[in-house]
Structure 1
């Protein structure tokens, strides 16, 4: 593996033009209003677990179209009073996983809400939420990047971004959560979801976005042969006459258009040998991000990014923005 993108000094100043449809704000306002016309119905059911220091609850709430979305809520067993909360979104192909895989944040004193990912959860981490707006709607492999891509109204990520916003609302409804101290968090697809939520929810305490996916979308398909972006390129390779239609749809979901609307403090991370989420796509998002921000750079890493080396920075950041 080698450096695949611009030099770091170029990346630091990389601020490409955005492609934003004129009705972007109205599209998302209408989408979220439609979702909120359904009751949230957030429910948290205690799970029997051999864990003694963490309380685990099986969570369900209603996302896009009123569809039930699964999640985990974990919190320290000894905690009293409302807690700051981390709302976590999962990387591409994964689901909420098994609850004992998610112990870091509760061990650090936070309520930790992990959202399942509709129609995914069969690639590397278990999921169980179907995508009821697609044929064969259970968790599936390999990918969803072109599901409904010919119109923003039908595109898969309209549903997933809406679920992600509603997950924040579900976390805030929990009696042990301080709704004023919410940090959204994720890596890869999860980082992209966190950034979309940051642009759609105005009162977050912070954003943790590690090697985020779904940023600077057209450029991404032009500079990497890595999947999942390659799913879009392959679609356009076959549907030659639909290319501009595809990228018009994607302009409603490009992270750059959410980054410019985000005001919460953000901590990004980027890896300079990342062939899945190329560094110029991450820096494009970071440089457009409107709120206070910082970025950690891992020069010799690929899409794994900082992994455990990023954890101390994330913990420190979360503590600072939720104090």
Structure 2
């Protein structure tokens, strides 16, 4: 089989090369304290789109730094008693998608809440206010500022805050909440379950936002990771501060949040992926200590993975 990365045997042992900041745990405890102190100012309003078997709503809350975060909220009708819920996250630069794409889960009795990532293609706000570059990429937003101002710090907190809000909805059984998403959505699924460990099940697909130095080493700082290359070219063309740059990126590296996950994980990876290289995904997967399984697609890259949607639904049905 052709390779774009390490052989599978080595991938299963790979632990990542991007540095972990010494104060990583303190950083995230401080961040969570900021999130927990917020008044979310939750609003829920009926949507224009409705379905015969589900009620659809616009859900909005206030996240860290005052941003209003939006999510589509679909609640199945005629479900007796508290029932399970699924929190969904989308790919980089995208949005929560069409209402109709969520109706399958609602038809199976799940409340579905799908978040627009702040400052990307949907309705959530990016309140900005950081020093340094703000062009072409959210990974590097805040990288020249205090680490507490990294934009993906705020985005990771949004995912955890939303999960907590979903667990508090009157129709939802807080012990039966799952998270799912692909690419950026896969990375956010991991971050969400790490920062809100009550998430019971995770179904991430080729997660983004992991092992940034490995991406650079493979000369794949392009496409989704292009902003890493642009940052060096603009601000550190001689790579004199390379070690410190990757250390600061370590605060928003999902491989180092992965050990906090307590929910059961079913993760999909394509071994021909040149957008989020397999080794970067394994760096996160190999650090998960909770119950887990990996679904490997040897001939697939960063694309639709056949049958995984069905496997995900079966995973939820069997475990939730």
**TM score, norm. by length of structure 1:** 0.90
Query: Which sits farther off after the overlay, 308-317 or 84-93?
Result: 308-317
Aligned 8 A contact 1:207 1:266 in 2: yes
> Which segments of 5 or more consecutive residues in structure 2 lack a partner in the other structure?
none
Q: Does 1:317 align with 2:315?
A: yes
The superposition leaves residues 8-39 of structure 1 with CA deviations (integer Å, 9 ceiling, x where unpaired) of: 22222223466322221111111121122221
Which residue does the alignment assign to 1:56?
A: 56
The Cα RMSD (Å) is 2.1
Q: Does 1:237 align with 2:236?
A: no
Query: C-alpha separation between the residues in 1 aligned to 2:18 and 2:135?
Result: 31
Aligned 8 A contact 1:93 1:143 in 2: no
Query: C-alpha separation between the residues in 2 aligned to 1:115 and 1:141?
Result: 23
Report deviation, 1:226: 3.3
The superposition leaves residues 283-306 of structure 1 with CA deviations (integer Å, 9 ceiling, x where unpaired) of: 121111111100111111110141
Aligned 8 A contact 2:221 2:228 in 1: no
Report deviation, 1:170: 1.5
Query: C-alpha separation between the residues in 1 aligned to 2:137 and 2:98?
Result: 21
Query: C-alpha separation between the residues in 2 aligned to 1:174 and 1:209?
Result: 24
Report deviation, 1:280: 0.8
Q: Which 4+ residue blocks in structure 1 deviate beyond 6 angstroms?
A: none
Query: C-alpha separation between the residues in 2 aligned to 1:199 and 1:299?
Result: 28
Which residue does the alignment assign to 1:184?
A: 179
Tell me the matched-pair count: 312
Residues 18-167 of structure 1 aligned to structure 2 (within 5 Å): 19-121=19-121, 127-134=122-129, 143-150=137-144, 151-167=146-162
> Which segments of 5 or more consecutive residues in structure 1 lack a partner in the other structure?
122-126
